[in-house]
Amino acid sequence: MSVIVQKFGGTSLADTDKIKNVARAVVREKKLGNDVIVVVSAMGHTTDNLIKLAHQISEHPSDREMDMLMSTGEQVSIALLTMAIQEMGYSAVSMTGAQVGILTEETHSRARIVDIKTDKLKEHLGEGKIIIVAGFQGITAKGEITTLGRGGSDTSAVAIAAALKVDRCDIYSDVEGIYTTDPRVVPTAQKLKEISYEEMLELARVGANVLHPRSVETAKQFSVPMRLRSSFKLDDLGTLIIGVNEMEIYKPVTGLACDNSQVRVVICDVPDKPGNAGKLFTLLAKYELSVDMIIQSYARSHDNTNDIAFTISKDDLTRFCGFKDEIMKLMNPSNIHIDEDIAKVSIVGAGMIDRPGIASMMFETLARENVNIKMIATSEIKISCLVEKFNANKAVQALCKTFELDGAEAAIVKGTLPD
């Protein structure tokens, strides 16, 4: 008998009718002869409503009390879904993170899981029960309630799947799988049958907001086969996320993503002294500011200065401006320039490793379309180009053509895409 972990997000649980729908999806899996553990998020807008209540009381509520508050959302979901499954005549039991024993660090609002107890889960499975676990939450060794931060429920699901070494972890949401690129931008974008953890991670990092990187990292670390599928189309198998060596087929470029959520910061004319860049990024780290693309120009010979450019999230811009003066004092640049009208276009593919020339194909495509590249960053399986925002869609369309990521052509010409 296989053990399957299923995870359902807030959209799939928005109201009691949707919860009944999820109950049917759970029972369907049970009827196939599997043991089932279900991990759920809070219902629809519950989280937003709880945050609103908190902010009516305090502008900066303490992290501990926010965790106490937010964790109720998932607890409501587990109780209601368990009732719905019991109503269908199946034996089911709900469990909070604390009851399972999802142990986390002593950090509130973004705790990392350190251990998951499996004894109670195994006991309930042994009794033939479907188990409904509250995602997003855990408990510290001292009995404090914690939450796991963004993407927390996905991470709970994968971590439980890893702890129990289950056969599959299905992440249900309102999307039908991973696409070669955003179908809202490129309507002919193709759904992938398979993608590797590494590719999924790069896609997630460059702005494909389908799965949080943390859950994919955990899946990769413990080799948990993860499937992203739609809770509204149960017959559709979605996309399977597995190790690259387990994949049936892959193309040099699997996916393309466009991220509009970054801004570019240029520290202009910094005197070229050793350690200057180090100082800057130590300061950014001190303020817990994540930077993405980084470029330092060659020192200009006429005045021996250079420019340091990097991108940060739009959400962090206000925080960054708070210590701009500190950077001016520290590095003595002529100016700090901030550019919000940019977009980051990235192509991702595990197949890049063995095939040179992918980067030049990307740059040539963009040049042909008169798209100016402002920054470039690469990893083993990813190439990102920063372009002007008004050029982003044009760039995406052209790159899809070049790398055959729009369905029709790919299906006909190469026949390598999933059916």
Closest contact distance (angstroms) between CB of 16 and a copy of itself is: 4
Q: Which of 93, 148, 169, 266 binds a copy of itself (CB under 8 A)?
A: 93
Cβ closest to a copy of itself, residue 111 vs residue 347 = 111
- By CB under 8 A, tell whether 80 contacts a copy of itself: yes
Q: Which of 53, 141, 408, 412 binds a copy of itself (CB under 8 A)?
A: 53
**Local structure of residue 340 (DSSP, 8 states):** -
Residue matched to tokens 């955990």: 218
Residue matched to tokens 């466009």: 258
279-338 residues in contact with a copy of itself (CB under 8 A) are: none
C-alpha separations of 64 from 61, 107, 156, 158 in Å? 9, 9, 19, 25
Cβ closest to a copy of itself, residue 130 vs residue 350 = 130
Residues contacting 232, CB < 8 A, separation 6+: 12, 21, 174
360-379 residues in contact with a copy of itself (CB under 8 A) are: none
* Inter-helix orientation angle 213-221/152-164, to 10°: 10
Taking Cα atoms as reference points, which of 253, 144, 246, 138 lies closest to residue 192?
253
Q: Which of 51, 83, 294, 361 binds a copy of itself (CB under 8 A)?
A: 83
Cβ closest to a copy of itself, residue 70 vs residue 247 = 70
Q: Which of 62, 290, 304, 332 binds a copy of itself (CB under 8 A)?
A: 62
Q: Give, in degrees to the nearest 5, the angle at Cα 153 between 311 and 234.
A: 110
Distance separating alpha carbons of residues 247 and 262, to the nearest angstrom: 32
Cβ closest to a copy of itself, residue 68 vs residue 411 = 68
377-406 residues in contact with a copy of itself (CB under 8 A) are: none
Count of residues interacting with a copy of itself (CB under 8 A): 35
- By CB under 8 A, tell whether 106 contacts a copy of itself: no
Cβ closest to a copy of itself, residue 98 vs residue 111 = 98
Residues contacting 8, CB < 8 A, separation 6+: 22, 25, 38, 39, 40, 41, 81, 172, 173, 231
Please provide residue 13's backbone torsions phi and psi, each rounded to the nearest 5 degrees. Answer: -120, 25
Distance separating alpha carbons of residues 396 and 377, to the nearest angstrom: 17
Q: Which of 14, 51, 68, 359 binds a copy of itself (CB under 8 A)?
A: 68
- By CB under 8 A, tell whether 45 contacts a copy of itself: no
Cβ closest to a copy of itself, residue 42 vs residue 203 = 42
Q: Which of 51, 54, 289, 291 binds a copy of itself (CB under 8 A)?
A: 54
- By CB under 8 A, tell whether 126 contacts a copy of itself: no
Closest contact distance (angstroms) between CB of 373 and a copy of itself is: 48
Cβ closest to a copy of itself, residue 65 vs residue 340 = 65
Q: Which of 2, 48, 65, 408 binds a copy of itself (CB under 8 A)?
A: 65
Closest contact distance (angstroms) between CB of 276 and a copy of itself is: 42
| Choices 77-85, 155-163, 169-177, 387-395 (CB under 8 A): range interacting with a copy of itself | 77-85
- By CB under 8 A, tell whether 76 contacts a copy of itself: yes
Distance separating alpha carbons of residues 168 and 158, to the nearest angstrom: 9
- By CB under 8 A, tell whether 72 contacts a copy of itself: yes
Q: Report the sign of the C-alpha dihedral through residues 67, 70, 72, 76, in that order.
A: negative
- By CB under 8 A, tell whether 64 contacts a copy of itself: yes
Residue 67: Cβ-neighbour burial (10 angstroms; 0-12, 13-18, 19+): buried
Q: Which of 79, 244, 268, 291 binds a copy of itself (CB under 8 A)?
A: 79
C-alpha separations of 20 from 9, 75, 82, 232, 334 in Å? 14, 17, 10, 12, 62
143-202 residues in contact with a copy of itself (CB under 8 A) are: 143, 145
Gyration radius from the chain CA atoms: 24
Cα 219 to chain centroid, rounded: 12
The amino acid at residue 14 is A
Taking Cα atoms as reference points, which of 147, 7, 125 lies closest to residue 63?
147
Closest contact distance (angstroms) between CB of 98 and a copy of itself is: 7
Enumerate binding residues for a copy of itself (CB under 8 A).
Answer: 16, 19-20, 50, 53-54, 56-58, 61-62, 64-66, 68-69, 71-72, 75-76, 78-80, 82-84, 86-87, 93-94, 96, 98-99, 143, 145
